[in-house]
Structure 1
């Protein structure tokens, strides 16, 4: 560790400017910045998915592979405080691998995540992306999202959007000044994944502060046709509700270079 990195780490630990503190051997403790929006005693799925992506990326890594798909199944309350992540290889392979990480707290499973890792190669001769670019963060204005949503995580992010917004459809750019892990070794991919779940609250069909409906997601599925980079995450969101209590939030994912993938979240839509 360099002297500069050590000084930066000391400052972050002193301020608590991180979402998770590493306790060693796969154990972590969430900070207030990871607090959820639906329940003050739980973690927000955003940072929780980021720390699982971090664990998956660092499990038996290979330089010739990258994560192409991440799936997160939410089994129940994502308890705040201490938790453990256990990771295992499900399907080893020369060109494709399937890896699983399980988050447990208070003796119960909170989230099970799986990642398909795929061998990389030069496909520039046939490369092409059909998803359209969106206005960049410099073209959007800061929004006070904490006035619409509660919780420590929401307060930890900066959100920008433009005037092209309506209930069920909109774009947003997110970034955070907080480290994903106190060790400061999280990749751009893991840090950006740690904000993707926010898509469910960017352009909701029903405002949360109206207090009449809730629409938490049961899962998060992420497909990445390009490796993301940088500190800004762009979300081009549309949200649909069926008439039988089930909804879907669908998002095209962007970094400052353009679109890099898609995310889907199935919702349980319930009247209070």
Structure 2
């Protein structure tokens, strides 16, 4: 008798605790998380906190994640606090712990929305729509449950250090909880570090130690578009930089600091 895979990444096991499913397995090791799903989960929990706190009157402008070490594939605990309360500007912090050890610190700036449609302008080029792009098999480069379940479409030919991709997933973040669009969007951003690899990941390790995301518009839809450049310096430092897109166009930027080393 076979059991079908779940259609979610996490199951809530308590007020602030979450157990992972196979979909959260990392690309470097199945004994660790893929950071993408944890980034999405943290955003989900922060957004829930915001809805309870002020009814969602403020919009997410920036969220940054600092990864403090390995991310063992075990139950995660997330605690949220407001660091700088305000009616028009607010700073929220979330700490994710695994086995009582803090592993991720996230900070999110929320800003009051306003009608600036008459003066809006964007300097980023849009990507072709996902439906017009051919599929790309990420499992030819990467392992793990998260990569195995994503659907990837390729807007243009890619080369080492330069690529674009549309990423979506048939699975939502938390079992029996209403999906939050911006959290689902964030849960796919960290895949950027794997779409334009400069060298074979069996020869070089280049994990990111952080992720910083800025939005100038709240994303919509079920696709995360990544227009990505990867730069490696001569002394073991790297940077993955991505313009972020939804199906309506560009929405922001993401940056990932890399530690690059031979295996």
Deviation at 1:222, TM superposition (A): 0.1
Query: Is 2:219 the partner of 1:228?
Result: yes
Deviation at 1:163, TM superposition (A): 4.0
Under a length normalisation based on structure 2, what TM-score does the superposition of the two structures give? Answer: 0.95
- The residue number in structure 1 matching 2:44 is 54
- The residue number in structure 1 matching 2:152 is 159
- The residue number in structure 2 matching 1:245 is 236
Query: Is 2:27 the partner of 1:37?
Result: yes
- The residue number in structure 2 matching 1:66 is 59
How big is the alpha-carbon RMSD for the aligned residues of Structure 1 and Structure 2? 1.3
Secondary structure of 1:59's partner? helix
In the alignment, structure 2 segments of 5+ residues that lack a partner are none
In the alignment, structure 1 segments of 5+ residues that lack a partner are 1-12
Runs of 4+, deviation exceeding 4 Å: none
Q: 1:121 to 1:163 in 2, by over 3 A?
A: closer
220-229 or 62-71, which deviates more: 62-71
User: Residues 86-120 of structure 1: CA distance to partner in whole angstroms, max 9, x if unpaired?
Assistant: 11010001210000011101121111111001011
- The residue number in structure 2 matching 1:188 is 181
Secondary structure of 1:24's partner? coil
Residues paired across the two proteins, number: 258
Deviation at 1:167, TM superposition (A): 0.6
**Aligned with 2:85 (options 87, 92, 115):** 92
User: Residues 156-180 of structure 1: CA distance to partner in whole angstroms, max 9, x if unpaired?
Assistant: 1011114431110011001100111
Under a length normalisation based on structure 1, what TM-score does the superposition of the two structures give? Answer: 0.92
- The residue number in structure 2 matching 1:3 is none
Structure 2: distance between partners of 1:111 and 1:187? 21
Kept in 2: contact 1:171–1:236 (CA 8 A): yes
**1:61-210 to 2 correspondences below 5 Å:** 61=51, 62=54, 63-208=56-201
- The residue number in structure 2 matching 1:18 is 8
Q: 1:161 to 1:216 in 2, by over 3 A?
A: same
